[in-house]
């Protein structure tokens, strides 16, 4: 397991100053491109939730769709999405969250989650936690229970975990600094 995690870490590429100066972007495309490591990543998450009676995996646009749908398949759970405004065709609920400058929002179909569903929220990475916190709000609004928020990568130094309280957070890899 420790070796697997080290291999996963080595398959993530740092791209300095993307998408803007000062940000180190964690590029997971080399990880996704390696079949064995992509499978290991999903297996780690699936092992964690296998006994948790998860009904639905909720993927956050857009890399959360990749991680989340593979996890849903593995767990035989349903899969649903939260998207940027204006992308979903049916009636939606929305939740706003703060960015460094201004606010952004996310939308979910009003019938995306069965009533009382046990939901795991999935994304590639947690930074400040704003995106996942807004997503957790949407799950609550739809009457679902957040089992946990699951990430491949956690930028621990940004303390996104705190913003997500009282929700539980799991990440495969933690980074203490950029």
Cα torsion through 111, 115, 116, 122, rounded to 10: -10
From the list 10, 13, 17, 23, which residue makes contact with ligand AMP (rule: CB under 6 A)?
A: 23
Least separation in angstroms between residue 23's CB and ligand AMP is 6
Cβ neighbours of residue 142 under 8 Å, at least 6 residues apart?
Answer: 93, 108, 110, 112, 113, 115
Q: Which is nearer to ligand AMP, 56 or 171 (CB)?
A: 171
Least separation in angstroms between residue 80's CB and ligand AMP is 16
Binding mask 36-75 for ligand AMP (x = CB under 6 A): ------------------------x--x------------
Stretch that binds ligand AMP, among 24-32, 38-46, 47-55, 137-145 (CB under 6 A): 24-32
Interactions with ligand AMP, residue window 137-176 (CB under 6 A): 160
Q: Is 127 a binder of ligand AMP (CB under 6 A)? A: yes
Q: Is 118 a binder of ligand AMP (CB under 6 A)? A: no
| Terminal Cα distance for the chain, rounded | 24
Burial 41-60 (b: 16+ CB within 10 A, else e): bbebbbebbeeeebbbbbbb
Distance CA 127, CA 163 (A): 10
């Amino acid at each position: 397991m420790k070796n697997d995690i080290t291999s996963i870490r080595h398959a993530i590429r740092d791209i300095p100053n993307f998408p803007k100066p000062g940000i180190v972007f964690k590029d997971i495309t080399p990880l996704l491109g390696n079949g064995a490591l992509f499978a290991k990543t999903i297996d780690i998450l699936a092992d964690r939730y296998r006994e948790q009676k998860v009904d639905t995996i909720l993927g956050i646009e857009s890399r959360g769709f990749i991680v989340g749908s593979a996890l849903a398949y593995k767990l035989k759970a349903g899969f649903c999405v939260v998207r940027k405004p204006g992308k979903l065709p049916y009636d939606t609920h929305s939740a706003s969250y703060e960015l460094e400058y201004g606010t952004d929002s996310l939308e979910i179909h009003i019938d995306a989650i069965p009533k009382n569903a046990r939901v795991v929220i999935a994304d590639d990475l947690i930074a400040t936690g704003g995106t996942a916190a807004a997503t957790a709000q949407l799950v609550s609004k739809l009457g679902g229970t957040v089992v946990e928020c699951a990430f491949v990568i956690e930028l621990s130094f940004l303390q996104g975990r705190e913003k997500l309280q009282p929700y539980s957070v799991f990440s495969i890899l933690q980074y203490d600094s950029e």
